[in-house]
Structure formats: C-alpha cells, structure tokens
Structure 1
C-alpha cells in the first residue's frame, strides 16, 4: 500500500487536476488499461481464464451488476474480492462524510450545507480501495435496516423531527457509496428484504420508513448464489434477477494442473507435500465430482482437496515429531521443511474428509468403500502418468515369496529405504524417484534435501511407495494393511 496523496482541501484537489469518475467508469477504465498493458487483473484465480473471466470482464466493461452462480467451493467469493483491485488505490472523500461522498459532488443535506459554508476549504480525506469493497453474508435474519437503513431513535430523542434526513441511520449499502457491495448466498435473503434492493439497483435511490431520499448512490452490486439454492431452498425474486445485468455460471477447474495449482496456493502446509500427492488428491476430487454415488447438486468443494493436503502435511509432521524424523528447531519442535509427506499419509486424510461429501441416499453404509475405490482409481491414474513405459519387473522379482517391505504412518523414510531389497540395477530406484520428483536422486538417499533440485529421503521413499502401490493395483504384489502399517509382498 502506498501513502495517500498529501491533499487536504477541495482547492488543492482541484489544483491537482483530479478528475471525478463514476464507479463504473473507474472500473471500466482501470480494467481496460490493465488488459492493454498485458497485466493480469485476476491474480490467484485458476481455471477461469477462457470461461468465467471473459464473461465477467465484458459485464464490467458494460457497467452491469453481476450475480455468480455455482456450487460450493468454486471460488465465487475469491473472484468477487478481486474486484477491489480494479478500483483506484486512493480516492478522495469529504472528510467525515457518512456516505463517502466525492468532494466535487456532495449528496446528503449535511454535506451540501457543509460544502456551501467551507467552500474551497472543504476538508478532503483519502480512502483506500480495500475500504471500498463491502461483503455481506446473506442470512435469513438480515433486516432492511441492516442493508438500507432505519430511523435512529437516539437522534429523534435529541430533538430532530422524524422528517429530518439526519434522523436516518444508514445501512450497509448506502455506506458503501462509491464502492462495491458483495452479497454472498443471495437466495438466503428473505424475499421482502430482496425487495428493498430494487430501488438501489435500478433507480439508485433509497427509501426508509416512507421517506424517499433522492440520493444518487454510486454502487456496484455483485452477488453469489448456489444453483440449487437458486431454485429450491431459496430463490432470487424475479424483479431482482431482472436488475442484474449479467448472470455468470462458475465451475470447478477443468484441467488437472489448475486443480493442483488451487490446492498448492490455498493450502497452509505444515510439512513438505510433494506435487505427486497433490496430483493424487486432485484426481481423487475430480473422481468424486463425476461419481454417480455422490450428490453432484451439492458439489465437491475445492476445500475438500485443500483440507486433504493440510491433513497429509499434518500426518507427516506428526510422524516426524513422534519418530524424531525432523530436526529440532529453536522452539524444540521439528522444522516443517524436514518432514515430508508420503503416500501412506493419504489414508489419514481420507479418514477425516468423508464428512465433506454428500452421498446419494441409496449409498448409505457404502461411504468408506466408495471413497477407497475412488482413491485407488486416482492412485492408479498417477502411477500410469509417472511410470508409463518404465519396466518395474526387477522390483517385482525382488519379492521371492518371503521378502516383504513394511511402511506406514509410523515408519520413517530412512527405515523404509533401508528395508528396500537390492536390485540387479540399483539405478531403477533412481529412475523411479526422478519420474516422480522430476530430478535426479541422491545416491545415498540422504536424510534431507541438500543441493537444490535433489530429492530428500522423504521424497525418495514417497516415490518408491507409489511404485509399490502401483504394482499392487496391477496385481503384481500383495498388500496387507492393519494398525497403521502396510506390508507389501
């Protein structure tokens, strides 16, 4: 954030050459300037580049109010919040103005009177764009007073007449004047409350307790809604729908890479999680979204995979602390960078994520089975992607009917690597690691990542675990799981 301009009076503002623009002109011109300069006005949004974003940009250029329709966890709120980035960083307001009026155009009776008295010495303050974006979660208990305003009994008690505009306590929408108002889950607003928005969105004035205040409000109204709520649990009344200039459908990421990018960007990880595990989580999430056993009207939120990644990282950090796998930090705890998640940690995530998915009514009792099947499918797809064309026969041959390898949530990477059978070509383990991590492996499979681009012991163990799981899914090896341990043989 830069410092605000050092302009404090109306005379100084005029002398600076400042030009007053309406909110829609400001957004339109700033958006067009960013596009012409090749800048991305939508940082942190993945998967909308050729679908949602062009529609939204056209709506903003047209100056339309917008409603976004989409299932939960599709990034609707994040998209709305990025709109603030299209506003000028600093905008002038009449200092102390209740409705953030522009010094060139006061709209309330108090500000008009003040401007007439002060003249060129009218005090000017500066408002940052982050203050010009207002978000309201629409709930059934929201009142007209919350959104529009009401008569303030304290001001009446002070001796003002009921007809005096100064008795009005303004609600959220008028106070967002010259800014953006975002209404999340709009259908949850009671229909009579939605009616109160009609004048705001069309005539741009407000009515409070029978008083018509001709306030030329300058607001952009944007909203989000779940399509199922849109038609069943609640609805947007027809006159209000008609006032939104653009109705845009959002969607989950269409490409796997975008799904992984969302997880990596949004998850707060307490340990290192290799990209291949995020890929498996993304494939798992996408499989759930296409499964007939899952209620697709409810959707499978991106938060499902994000929470999964955070749980996987927590499982790795937990193992590091219990087994001493991580180095001790200044506070006596393991350093996050030393704990590396592996394939065995995914089970810990699936155990706690089932509640974030709504199953079809006919699938009662089969929830765990469905999740396990779809997870195996996701792992198998990742195995084919990374190990396609690689001959893993020597690894299978190393299991002579007696030899087994044990891994699990309490087995450290060093213990797992030490238990691996010797192969005629030791380079196979290096190739497996390189296929998953995209870089050559350390010959000693060191305890922690050393030189840049060199996999750590945890990454090396995770890659080989994935290969073993792939051989099990291909019915080349057997697997037994119990008490947090997995034995391949």
Structure 2
C-alpha cells in the first residue's frame, strides 16, 4: 500500500489538478490501461482466461452491473473480490460524509451546504480501494433497512423533521457509494428486498418509508447466484434480472493444469505434497463431476480437492511426527480423504449405502489414469518378477519412507527404481518412496500384483 496522499483540503485538491470521474469510467480506464500494458488484472484466477474473463471485461467496459451464475466452488466470490484491483488506490472524499461523496461532485444537500460555507478549506479524507468494496452474504432475514436504510428515531427525537433527509440512516447500498457492492447468493434475498434494489440499480433513487431522495448514487452492483434449477431457497425476480446488464456463467476448470493450480494456490498444506498426488486429486474431483452417481446439479466444489490436499498433507505430517522422517505425502495417504470428505459430495437418491464404494472406485480410476500417463513406455516387468509369490512389501499410514525403501526387493533391472523416481522427478527419500509406491499401486490396478489393506497397512505381493 502506498502512503496516503498529503492533500487535506478542497483547495489543495483543486490546485493539484484533480478531476472527477464516475466509478464506471474509473474501472473502464484502469482495465484498458492494464490490458494495454500487458498486465494481468485478474491475479489468482485459473481456467477462466478464454471464457469468463473476456465476458466480464466487456461488461466492465460497457459499465454494466453483473451477476455471476454457477455451481458452488467455481470461484465466483474470488472473481468479484478481484474487481477491487480495478479501482484507484486512493480516492478523495468529503471528510465526515456517510456516502463517501466526491468533493467535486457532492450528492447531498448537506454536503453542498458545507462546501458553500467552508469553500476551499473543506476537509478532505482519502479512501483506500479496499474500503470501497462492500460484500453482503444474502440471507432470508435481511431487511430493507439493512440494504437501503430507514428513518432513525433518535434523529427524529433530536428535533429534526420527519421529512428531513438528515433523519435517515443509510443502509449498505448507499454507504457503498463510489464503490462496489457485492451480493453473494442473491436468490436468498427475500423477493420484497430484491424489489427494493430496482430503483437503486436503474433510477439511482433511494426510497425509504415514502420518501424519495434523488441521490445520484455512483455504485456498481455485482452478485453471485447458483443456477435457479438447483437452489430451492429462492429465485432472482425477473425485473431485477433485467436490471443486470451482464449475466455471466462460471464453470469448473476445464484443464487438469488449471485444477492443480487452484489446489496449489488455495490449499494450506502442512507437509510437502508432490505434484503427482495433486494431479490424482484433481482427476479424482473431475471424475466425481462426471459420475452419474453424483448429483451434478449441485456440483462438486473446488473446495473438495483443496480439502483433500490438506488432508493428505496432514496425514504425512502425522506420520512424520509419530514415526520420524520428513513430512512428505505418499499415495498411501490418498485413502485418508475418502473417510472425511464424503459429506462434501451429494449423491443421487438411489445411491444410499454405496457412497464409500463410489468414492473408492473413482479414486482408483484417477490413480490409474495418472499411472498410465506418467509411466507410459516404462517396463515394470522386472518389478513384477521380483515378487516371487513369497516376497511382499508393506506400506501404510505409519510406515516411514526409509522402512518402505529398505523392504523393496531386488529387481533384474538394477536401475529400475531410479528410472521410476526420474519419471516423477522424485529426489528425496519421501518422494522416491512415493514414486515407487505409485508404481506398485499401478501394477495392482492392472492386476499384475495383489494388495491387501488391513488396519492402516497395505501389503503388495
């Protein structure tokens, strides 16, 4: 954050050559400037580059209010919060103004009176861009007073007339003047509350208990919502939908690389998780989204994959704490996600009792896909031959990497384990053990090895 500008009065502001511009002009010019300079105005967003982002940029250039429609966990809220980056870092306002009024373009009679009385000595305060973003989680108990405002009985008791605008306590939307007001889960707002937004978005009027205040509010309304065919809690009323200039559909990442990037960016990992395990979790999540056993109208959130990665990392740290060694996740830790994350997925009504089986099957499918891709062309026959019907190798949640590596059988190909590790760019003992463990799991999945899992231990043979 740069230092607050030193200008403190209206006279100094005018002397500095400051000019007034509307919020939409400000965002449009800043966006076009970033695009012209080759800067990315949307940091931290993955998979929207060729679909959602171009639509949103066109909406901002056009000066439209925007509603984002999409299933849960598609990054709608993150996208809305990123809009803050298109605002000027510091914006001058009239000191003490509830509505953050522009000193060169006031909107209330009270502020105009102050400017006439104080002139160039009018105090100026500065508003940082982060303070110009207001976010509201729409809930059924939200009132018109919360959103728009209400008559303040205390001000009436002080002697002001009931028709005096000074008696009004402004709500969230007017207080967001000269900024962005984001409404999450818009359909959850009661229909009568949605009606109260109609004039604000179109005529920019504020109507409170019979009073009509002609306030030229300079506010951008953005909202997020689940598709109406999924949420049974409410709907966006047709007149309000018509007020939004742009309705943009979001989606889950289309490419595996984008899915992995989201996991890596959002997950708070307490241990090292190799890239290959993140790919398995990403493919696992995508398999859930394509499964007929899963309720696809509710979606499978990106938070599922993020929580899965955090669980895998936690399992690795738990093992390292109990048994020693480096905290590095291995394929054996993937199974820990199924027991704790099943509740994050909504299954079809006919799948009661089969939830764990479905999750295990789709995880195995994801693992097999990664094994085929990562070990394509590598002859693992000598590793199969090393298991002579008697020899076994044990791994598990409490088996350290060193113990696993020490128990591996000799193979006819002396450098086979090195080539397996090279395929996954595994360097340390933890990553090396994970790479070989994944190869064993792949051989089990193609029925070339057997596997038995009991009480947290897995035996290959």
Task: Give the alignment partner of residue 429 of structure 1, picking from 406, 417, 429.
Answer: 417
| Structure 1 residues 64-122: Cα deviation after superposition (integer angstroms, max 9, x where no partner) | 00000000000000000000000000000001111000000111222111111110111
Q: How does 1:228-267 map to 2 (within 5 A)?
A: 228=228, 232-267=232-267
Moved more, 419-428 or 100-109: 419-428
Instruction: Provide the residue aligned with 2:335 in structure 1.
Output: 347
SS of 2:328 mapped into structure 1: coil
Shift of 1:230: 6.9
Residues 228 and 235, structure 2, Cα contact 8 Å, conserved in 1: no
Shift of 1:229: 5.9
Distance 2:305 2:445 in 1: 23
Distance 1:36 1:291 in 2: 43
Structure 1 position 372 matched with structure 2 position 344: no
Q: How does 1:33-182 map to 2 (within 5 A)?
A: 33-182=33-182
SS of 1:197 mapped into structure 2: helix
Shift of 1:485: 0.2
Distance 1:117 1:425 in 2: 91
Instruction: Provide the residue aligned with 1:387 in structure 2.
Output: 375
Output the TM-score relative to the length of structure 1.
0.93
Distance 1:8 1:47 in 2: 44
Residues 395 and 459, structure 2, Cα contact 8 Å, conserved in 1: yes
Moved over 2 A (4+): 228-233
Task: Give the alignment partner of residue 361 of structure 1, picking from 324, 346, 349.
Answer: 349
Residues 229 and 235, structure 1, Cα contact 8 Å, conserved in 2: no
Shift of 1:471: 0.2
Residues 200 and 206, structure 1, Cα contact 8 Å, conserved in 2: yes
| Structure 1 residues 240-282: Cα deviation after superposition (integer angstroms, max 9, x where no partner) | 0000000000000000000000000000000000000000000
Structure 2 residues not aligned, in runs of 5+: none
Residues 398 and 423, structure 1, Cα contact 8 Å, conserved in 2: yes
| Structure 1 residues 190-228: Cα deviation after superposition (integer angstroms, max 9, x where no partner) | 000000000000001211110000010000000000004
Residues 287 and 374, structure 1, Cα contact 8 Å, conserved in 2: yes
| Structure 1 residues 5-51: Cα deviation after superposition (integer angstroms, max 9, x where no partner) | 11001111111111111000000000000000000000000000000
Residues 228 and 298, structure 1, Cα contact 8 Å, conserved in 2: no
Residues 477 and 488, structure 1, Cα contact 8 Å, conserved in 2: yes
Distance 1:415 1:388 in 2: 28
Structure 1 residues not aligned, in runs of 5+: 326-337, 442-454
Shift of 1:479: 0.1
Residues 270 and 310, structure 2, Cα contact 8 Å, conserved in 1: yes
Residues 230 and 298, structure 2, Cα contact 8 Å, conserved in 1: no
Q: How does 1:176-255 map to 2 (within 5 A)?
A: 176-228=176-228, 232-255=232-255
Shift of 1:456: 1.1
Distance 1:488 1:464 in 2: 12
Residues 228 and 297, structure 1, Cα contact 8 Å, conserved in 2: no
Residues 319 and 398, structure 2, Cα contact 8 Å, conserved in 1: yes
Change (3 A) 1:228 1:433: farther
Task: Give the alignment partner of residue 461 of structure 1, picking from 433, 437, 441.
Answer: 433
| Structure 1 residues 345-387: Cα deviation after superposition (integer angstroms, max 9, x where no partner) | 1111111010000000000111011001100100000000100
Distance 1:431 1:14 in 2: 70
Instruction: Provide the residue aligned with 1:269 in structure 2.
Output: 269
Instruction: Provide the residue aligned with 2:453 in structure 1.
Output: 481
SS of 1:260 mapped into structure 2: helix
SS of 1:169 mapped into structure 2: strand
Shift of 1:462: 0.4
Residues 230 and 297, structure 2, Cα contact 8 Å, conserved in 1: no
Distance 1:230 1:319 in 2: 41
Instruction: Provide the residue aligned with 1:406 in structure 2.
Output: 394
Distance 1:90 1:321 in 2: 48
SS of 1:196 mapped into structure 2: helix
Distance 1:3 1:156 in 2: 40
Distance 1:9 1:233 in 2: 49
Output the TM-score relative to the length of structure 2.
0.99
Shift of 1:231: 6.6
